[in-house]
Amino acid sequence: MLEAELSRDAESRALPITMAEEGFTGLAKQMSRWIEHVLGTDYVQYPGNAWRPAVNLYEDPEAFYLVADVAGVDAKSIDLHVQKRMLVLRGERSSPRPPLEKSRCKGEKTTHMRLHVMEINHGPFHRVLELPQEINSEAIQACYRGGFLWVTMPKK
């Protein structure tokens, strides 16, 4: 249960958070099974419960340019490598938590919060992307700016 997981982390002083709708986890599992049934098990291209960051892939005559939405991820925890034509991006994002000391708007102390909407992916992520052609893997450059990972991959 989410509340128990957050309560165990005493050092981070996280607020206990409970799901507003108890059936949410079951519904998510049902949806995953339905997607696998409709699209096949090959559709899932990442291990376990990893989420996939959104990416854009651009190209000009000299290079491919990838931008990945990895807001909230520590840049040092991102692993990026290319093997032949496969780009692999992985890492982990911590669950965003509200501040413990005071409620944002009223300045009151908060002892418990109830989570009503959870749309921000967290935990491990893994994304594999096939590039249209091989690249010069020795000349890859990457920078992390504004929550986006920008990767320049010169063509061979």
pTM for the model stands at 0.63
pLDDT tens digits for range 91-129: 999 888 777 655 556 656 666 777 788 888 889 999 999
Kindly give the residue spans of alpha helices, DSSP state H, lying in the chain. 2-8, 24-39
Whether residue 32 is predicted with pLDDT greater than 90 in this model: the reply is no
For 11, 107, 119, the CA distances from 100, given in Å and listed in that order, are 12, 11, 21
CA-CA distance, 112 to 90, in Å (whole number)? Answer: 33
Q: Which two tokens stand for residue 136?
A: 């010069």
Q: Which two tokens stand for residue 45?
A: 């291209």
- The domain in which residue 94 lies consists of 2-154
Q: How many domains does the chain have?
A: 1
| CATH number of the domain where residue 120 is located | 2.60.40.790
113 close to 96: Cβ distance less than 8 angstroms = no
Averaged pLDDT of the chain: 76
pLDDT tens digits for range 67-100: 999 999 999 999 999 988 899 999 999 888 777 6
Query: What per-residue confidence (pLDDT) applies to 24?
Result: 55
Which of these, 130, 126, 123, lies nearest to 45 by C-alpha position?
A: 126
